[in-house]
C-alpha cells in the first residue's frame, strides 16, 4: 500500500500525459495562461493544453448565450430571430448595444442587456429546472436572475463546455430542432469551402480575476471538432483578442482549418 501511495504521489507531480506540446508552444509564445480542449465529436482524437485544469469551473459569461437562447425560445419568451428586443435608450460603451436587438444581433455583438431582458422573462424557477435538465456546469442560477452567468453563481469547466456543445451538435439536448437550427445559424462566424466555424466569446469582466472564453465547433467534410478555450485576462486590451486568435492558431496547427 505504501508503495502504491508513493507511485500515486510521483504521478501527481508529472505533467499531464494529455498535454499537447504544440498547443503549449502557442500559449507560451503569447505569454498566456489557461486551458484549451480541441476534441473530435467522437472523442477519439483530442488535443489539450493544461489538462490538469480542464475540470476547473469558471463563470461562463457570454458563452451562456448559447443555452440561454435555447431556453428563451423553448419558454416562448421570444419567438424567433426576427422578433425585436427594444432598446430602452441607456447608452453603453459598446456602440453596437445602443439600438434595438434581435437574437442574431445580440449574440453577434454579445449584447448583455438584451439577454438580461430575456432572463427576467424566463425567471429563476425555470432556469433552475433547465440548468439541472441540461447538466450545465454546477446548474446554479443563484438569486440574481439577470447576472448569474456573469458574476460567479453559475460555473462551468472547459470539459463541461465541450460536453455541452457535443450534445448540441448531436441534437441530444431537450429542445425543438427548429430552435437548435436557429442557434446553429446565428452562431456561424466563418464559412468557407472547407469548413464552417461556429463560436461564442465570453469574458468575466465584472470579476476581480478575469477570464476569457472562446467556445464552439468546426464542421469539415471529414469531421466535427469541438473546442473550448479559457485564458486568464491580465490586460484586457492585449489578452481578450487572444481568445479567438489563439484558438484559430491551434486549429490551423492541427490542420482543422
Q: Tell me if residue 62 is catalytic.
A: yes
Specify the long-range contacts of residues 133-137, CB closer than 8 Å, at least 24 apart.
133/174, 134/67, 134/164, 134/173, 134/174, 135/163, 135/164, 136/67, 136/160, 136/164, 137/57, 137/60
| DSSP 3-state of 153 | coil
Q: Find the catalytic residue in 62, 105, 110, 203.
A: 62
Q: Which residues pair with residue 202 across a beta bridge?
A: 213
Distances (CA, A) of 17 to 14, 21, 52, 257: 8, 10, 10, 25
Host H or E run for residue 40: strand 34-40
229/21 Cα distance (integer angstroms): 16
Contact 62, 112 (CB under 8 A): yes
Tell the residue number behind the cell numbers 455583438, with chain if given: 109
For the beta carbon of residue 76, count every other beta carbon within 10 angstroms. Answer: 9
Q: Which residues pair with residue 211 across a beta bridge?
A: 232
What is the CB-side half-sphere exposure of residue 257 using CA atoms within 13 A? 22
Which phi and psi angles does 79 have, rounded to 5°? -85, -45
Residues annotated catalytic, as ranges: 62
Amino acid at each position: 500500500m505504501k508503495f502504491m501511495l508513493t507511485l500515486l504521489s510521483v504521478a501527481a507531480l508529472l505533467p499531464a500525459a494529455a498535454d499537447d506540446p504544440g498547443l503549449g508552444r502557442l500559449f507560451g509564445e503569447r505569454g498566456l495562461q489557461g486551458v484549451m480542449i480541441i476534441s473530435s465529436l467522437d472523442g477519439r482524437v483530442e488535443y489539450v493544453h493544461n489538462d490538469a485544469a480542464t475540470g476547473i469551473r469558471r463563470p461562463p459569461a457570454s458563452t451562456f448565450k448559447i443555452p440561454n437562447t435555447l431556453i428563451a425560445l423553448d419558454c416562448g419568451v421570444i419567438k424567433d430571430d426576427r422578433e425585436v428586443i427594444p432598446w430602452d435608450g441607456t447608452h453603453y460603451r459598446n456602440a453596437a448595444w445602443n439600438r434595438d436587438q434581435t437574437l442574431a444581433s445580440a449574440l453577434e455583438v454579445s449584447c448583455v442587456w438584451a439577454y438580461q431582458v430575456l432572463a427576467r422573462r424566463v425567471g429563476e424557477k425555470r432556469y433552475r429546472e433547465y440548468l439541472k435538465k441540461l447538466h450545465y456546469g454546477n446548474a446554479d442560477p443563484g438569486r440574481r436572475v439577470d447576472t448569474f452567468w456573469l458574476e460567479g453563481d453559475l460555473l462551468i469547466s472547459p470539459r463541461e463546455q465541450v460536453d455541452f456543445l457535443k450534445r448540441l451538435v448531436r441534437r441530444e439536448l431537450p429542445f425543438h430542432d427548429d430552435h437548435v437550427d436557429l442557434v446553429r445559424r446565428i452562431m456561424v462566424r466563418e464559412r468557407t469551402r472547407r469548413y464552417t466555424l461556429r463560436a461564442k466569446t465570453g469574458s468575466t469582466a465584472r470579476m476581480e480575476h478575469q477570464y476569457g472564453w472562446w467556445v464552439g465547433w468546426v464542421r469539415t467534410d471529414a469531421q466535427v471538432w469541438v473546442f473550448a478555450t479559457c485564458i486568464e485576462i491580465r490586460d484586457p486590451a492585449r489578452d481578450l483578442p487572444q481568445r479567438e486568435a489563439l484558438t484559430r492558431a491551434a486549429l490551423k496547427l492541427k490542420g482543422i482549418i
